[in-house]
Amino acid sequence: MENFTHNIDIRSELKFEKLLTKEALDFLLELHQKFNSKRQELLVERVNRMKAYNAGDLPSFPAETKNIREQDWQASATPDDLQDRRVEITGPVDRKMIINALNSDAKVFMSDFEDASSPTWENMMNGQINLKDAHNNTIDFSVGEKSYKLGANPAVLKVRPRGLHLVEKHLQVQDEPLSASLVDFGLYFFHNIKERLSKNTSTYFYIPKLEYYQEAKWWSEVFAFSEEYMGVPKGSIKCTVLIETITASFSLDEIIHSLKDYIVGLNCGRWDYIFSYIKKLKNTKSFAVPNRDQITMETPFMDAYAKKVVQVCHRRGIHAIGGMAAQIPIKNDDEGNQKALEKVKADKLREVKNGHDGTWVAHPALVKVAQDVFDEYMPEANQKDNIPVLKAIIEADLIELPKGYIDEQGIRKNINVGLLYLESWLMGTGAAALYHLMEDAATAEISRTQLWLWLQQKAQTMEGKECQKDWFQSLIDEELIAIKTYVGAERFEHGKFTLAKQLFTEMIFADQLDEFLTTKAYDYLT
């Protein structure tokens, strides 16, 4: 069913008239006409660069921007309500999560339209309504005898739109889908900027999956146009950029410079970073990666990346935010729960000592754990004045191969968790609690990419077994049986595990690595 309104076709029977007003659609149409073709050019450039990496080229610091890296300059000022970002909580855009996260005592809540959300039409549009209600303090939620409402001192709200590679198929112009980035950004900005400015604050964003500084420049141009369109002061928008691709780490100064009127920080999106590392370097001579659990923030290439983020951010006067603690409470197992909390503390201690100004958690129960560590070692609101004196991080440091091994247990874990997450995403849930961790799309991306790589390489496990298609197929079948036990027979029979198996198997057995799992699976969402 199509509704031809203002040149944008709403390809759903659910019209969300109060959200998709004539004025809002007019704004989305302007964004589409001015910026979508350039977005497509940037995606073509990604493809061209990927061809070069596949031919053996390596990422490098851009020669044409050497002066930007060497000159002294700083980004624009950070607003007062973003000076203290010691603990940020992240999660999807569903109503209950938004209330609980805003009430969690975290300094910031990053509400995520991307990796923590399954982009069904209802999820995306209801998410916008939920955020609007949160700003208007009209958000509440009831289930059974439980009710939820906003507390007196909610966290500062930031929003992560979907990445440049994604589209919103339910909104089209002449059979061309709108950019999901522009839809998520555009609707949130349009409906909330005036109200936020009236409260002496603004709309704050997290920008995901940038690969090159030219993409940051695109966002800067989107922001500048949007401010002018809405008649608000320049710099009303502020953003933090997720550094979650290996290529972005080679142009940190350039990304900040491209967004210097708007940027307030960089964040270490470490799970997606590992996925990108494998994807970009997979054809490098002697390239190999061990089990996923063996790639930690102490692994040399990850350690170099995190420290470089701190160095560059503080030199440019912005926050460096650490990575995610994905643990969730382990009920009825005090010993197991304590071990998990100790891992979180050690992770946050390493970050604050490295110079990070804040960190991420996925569950409200971890807010105080992380906060206590940062309060002890960083008593001020941030440590942006601390520019670590370390040896220069060179190109080789950022791509150093990790040490470790592959074993059958690691293969099985990738299959099991990859299938469980993909099925959850297909069912409309993008933040999945699996084995006491809150997983998002990055988990499935790492899992299927490692499996694909090991098959292509015919890698040897430490047990002396060669990675082969027939063996992996038998492991998939066995892990599905284990999954049925884990979720229960009824949940298994009424879920989408058959489709998840089909898609997951196709991707790990493909001759060429699929760029993103979510673009392939999006066709199956409504």
Extended beta strands in 277-409, E state: 319-325, 358-361
Q: What is the pLDDT of residue 70?
A: 97
Report, as an integer, the average pLDDT of 203-219: 98
CATH of the domain at 14: 3.20.20.360
Decide which of 343, 365, 397 is a domain's last residue. 397
Output the pLDDT for position 390: 74
| Cα–Cα distance for residue pair 105/81, rounded to 1 Å | 14
Contact, 416 vs 479, CB < 8 A?
yes
In a domain, 133, yes or no: yes
Same structural domain, 147 and 258: yes
Q: Would you state the pLDDT for residue 291? A: 97
CA distance 101 to 425: 21
Give the per-residue pLDDT at 522.
98
Q: Average pLDDT for residues 249-275, to the nearest whole number?
A: 97
CATH code at 481?
A: 1.20.1220.12
Last residue of a domain, one of 340, 366, 397: 397
Query: Considering 368, 397, 426, which residue would you say is the last residue of a domain?
Result: 397
362 and 463 part of one domain? no
Judge whether 462 lies within some domain. yes
Residue 276, pLDDT above cutoff 80 = yes
**Is position 440 annotated as part of the catalytic site?**
yes
User: Quick one: 414 and 392 in the same domain?
Assistant: no
Residues 331, 152: Cα–Cα separation, whole Å: 29
Confidence of residue 3 (pLDDT cuts 50, 70, 90): very low
- Backbone angles phi and psi of 8, in degrees to 5: -110, 125
* pLDDT greater than 80 at residue 1: no
Residue range 386-404, pLDDT digits in tens? 887 778 899 999 999 999 9
173 pLDDT band (50/70/90 cuts)? very high
Residue carrying structure tokens 């470089």: 308
Q: Tens of pLDDT along 81-124?
A: 999 999 999 999 999 999 999 999 999 999 999 999 999 999 99
Q: Is residue 402 part of a domain?
A: no
Question: Per the domain annotation, does 120 fall within a domain?
Answer: yes
Please check whether residues 324 and 465 belong to one and the same domain: no
Is residue 160 annotated as part of the catalytic site, yes or no?
Answer: yes
Examine the domain organization and report whether 422 and 441 are in the same domain. yes
Range of the domain at 253: 4-397
C-alpha span between 58 and 180 (Å, rounded) = 30
Q: Indicate whether 385 belongs to any domain.
A: yes
Question: Within a domain: residue 212?
Answer: yes
| Nearest CA-CA partner of 62 in 212, 192, 193 | 212
**Predicted pLDDT at 6:** 54
User: Which residue is catalytic, options 272, 347, 357, 440?
Assistant: 440
Residue type at 9? D
Domain co-membership, 344 together with 425: no
In the structure encoding, which two tokens stand for residue 315, read together?
Answer: 């030199």
pLDDT value for 388: 77
pLDDT at 47: 97
pLDDT above 80 for 461: yes
Give yes or no: residues 215 and 237 share one domain: yes
Considering the domain architecture, whether residues 283 and 211 belong to the same structural domain is answered as yes
Contact 310, 320 (CB under 8 A): yes
418: Cα within 13 Å, side-chain hemisphere: 29
The predicted pLDDT at position 2 comes to: 43
| Same domain flag for 459 and 345 | no
Residue 345: count of CB within 10 angstroms of its CB: 16
pLDDT at 504: 98
Residue of 86, 160, 270, 316 marked active site: 160
Q: Give the pairing of strands 8-10 and 319-325.
A: unpaired
Q: What is the pLDDT of residues 404-454, one digit of tens each?
A: 999 999 999 999 999 999 999 999 999 999 999 999 999 999 999 999 999
Identify whether residues 302 and 443 lie together within a single domain.
no
Averaged pLDDT of the chain: 96
| Number of domains making up the chain | 2
User: What number is the average pLDDT over the span 289-302?
Assistant: 97
Q: Is the pTM of this model over 0.95?
A: yes
DSSP letters spanning 63-102 = GGGHHHHHS---PPPPPGGGS--SEEEEEES-HHHHHHHH
Q: Would you say residue 296 lies in a domain?
A: yes
Stretch among 3-12, 229-238, 296-305 having the lowest mean pLDDT: 3-12
CB 154 within 8 A of CB 103: yes
Same domain, 392 and 417: no
Mean pLDDT, rounded, for 47-56: 95
Beta strand pairing status for 204-207 and 167-173? unpaired
Domain presence at residue 403 = no
> What are the residue ranges of helices labelled H in 458-524?
469-487, 489-493, 497-509, 517-521
User: What pLDDT is recorded for position 411?
Assistant: 98
| One domain, residues 430 and 342 | no
Identity of residue 106 = A
